[in-house]
Amino acid sequence: MPDHAPAPPVASHGAPQLTSVVLDAYNAELRDKEGFIGDRASKRAFRAILDEWRERLRKLGDEDPLGDCPSEDVSKRRLEKLMQHENPEVAALVHGVVEEFAQELARVTRRFLKLKGWKDTQRIVVGGGMSGSRIGHLAIGRASLLLKADGQGVELVPITHEPDEAALIGAAHLAPSWIFSGHDSLLAVDIGGTNIRAGLVELNLKKARDLSEAKVVGLEVWRHHDDEPSREEAVERIATMLRGMVALAESKKRALAPFIGIGCPGIIEADGSIDRGGQNLPGNWESSRFNLPRAIAEAIPEIGGHPTTVLMHNDAVLQGLSEIPNMQDVERWGVLTIGTGLGNARFTNRRQD
């Protein structure tokens, strides 16, 4: 293979000015005496509420409809079935958990709306794993009603794309304009506190120039939280996943762009380092000696005979970017992602000449 120097990014990593939007704020870390406020509207918080309700039942001497299964292992599908249970008290248990979580989500959202960077937000899309379930949709809808009822002037809506795919599609909105000449697909990575996803994204620009028809045509998900890898092992696994996507693109005869978009938790510096917010990732990702975009460019130095450009931004930002085509009827909008923590970003649409 020719010895190519890694191609420089066409814009800085973590850039506030993107092609279609201005990034007003992201990765806000709201705290009070009890810790991070966003943690009250996370996956862990939902499971804690479920656990509390189950404990109340046991103290009352009532049968727990979930038996001995730990709350963190109860699937959303099982909870959805319980919502249709013939015993109204069993169904009400799940509805009660959803209601309490929705109250917390609304309370946390109100705190975000008080921030300067979130002023006059008109709509907030909610992503993350819960957004793809009926349970999540109910919680988001209820929180939206609560916010409307107290005059917040904002609505909450579930993210359009599948939770595993949203940030990968959002990566297409990071790509420079030259990507869209002579190429029909690109590679993307979504790094979370529990899972890492690598995907092949088909742009479908002939159907829609605004990327509204972009879709993931190849996906690999690795639950790194279970494997507890070192940082170096995680980087090598990401590179292996991406090589698999390159091979898939070749088999599908895609015109793959020499570009990889990465979403990663935390504050992303212009040089590709992570300032803070990577505490849930394997190993120390905030070290000044660690640079993920550079490591990926070195592992995959070229695609299609051209030097690889790697561009990284916050993972919640990428989830939000996937919704750009659906946010053209508002000016100021945001995203909250319910995951290991509560990712967040606020955008203002740029005028298109």
CATH number of 210's domain: 3.30.420.40
Q: Which domain holds residue 193?
A: 21-29+163-349
How would residue 177 be classed by pLDDT, with cut points 50, 70 and 90? confident
Q: Residue 146 falls within a domain, yes or no?
A: no
Is 210 a member of any domain?
yes
pLDDT at 243 over 80: yes
Asked if the structure places residue 168 within a domain, the reply is yes
Unique residue bearing structure tokens 């609505």: 155
Establish if 177 belongs to a structural domain: yes
Reported as a single tens digit per residue, the pLDDT across 26-54 is 999 888 877 778 888 889 999 999 999 99
Report how far residue 6's alpha carbon sits from residue 298's, in angstroms, rounded to the nearest whole number: 7
Given this model, what pLDDT does residue 200 score? 98
Q: Is residue 68 part of a domain?
A: no
Q: Is residue 131 in a domain?
A: no
223 three-state secondary structure: coil
Q: For 66-115, what is each residue's pLDDT tens digit?
A: 999 999 999 989 999 999 999 999 999 999 999 999 999 999 999 999 99
In a domain, 343, yes or no: yes
pLDDT number for residue 1: 39
How high is the pLDDT of residue 179?
Answer: 82
Residue 265 in domain: yes
Q: pTM of the full predicted structure? A: 0.92
For residue 307, how many other CB atoms are within 10 A of its CB?
15
β-sheet bridge partners, residue 31: 36
Q: How many domains does the chain have?
A: 1
pLDDT for 10 equals 62
Average pLDDT value for residue range 300-326 = 96
Q: E strand or H helix at 120, and its extent?
A: none
pLDDT tens readout for residues 200-235: 999 999 999 999 999 999 999 999 989 999 999 999
Q: What is the signed CA dihedral for 131, 134, 140, 144, rounded to 10 degrees?
A: 140
